[in-house]
Amino acid sequence: KGYQGLAAQQKGRPPKEPAMKKKIVPAELTPSEREEMIRLRAENERLRAEITVVKKEIALREERCAAQLKAKRLRSSKNSTKKDTD
């Protein structure tokens, strides 16, 4: 075998897929496809803005609810201390 015996060789079964895949060159967009892309990007931006508004509304409601619970607890704790002193 000589030098060929010293060369690195892969062992085992050969891979199912080739090592490198061919790069696919994208085709140019038609005007209608371009318009649709613009429309979809605008819709995505609008939906993202809507989601942020909804998240802020939820956070505001949770904050208000927490404040109401805190106030309710304070009122109930004041009432219980008054009852204990009587």
pLDDT digits (tens, 9 = 90+) for 20-31: 777 788 889 899
**What is the token pair recorded at 48?**
């993202």
* Sequence-ordered alpha helix ranges (H) in the chain: 3-6, 31-85
**Model pTM score:** 0.53
pLDDT of residue 3 exceeding 90, the answer is no
Residue pair 70/62 in contact (Cβ under 8 Å)? The answer is no
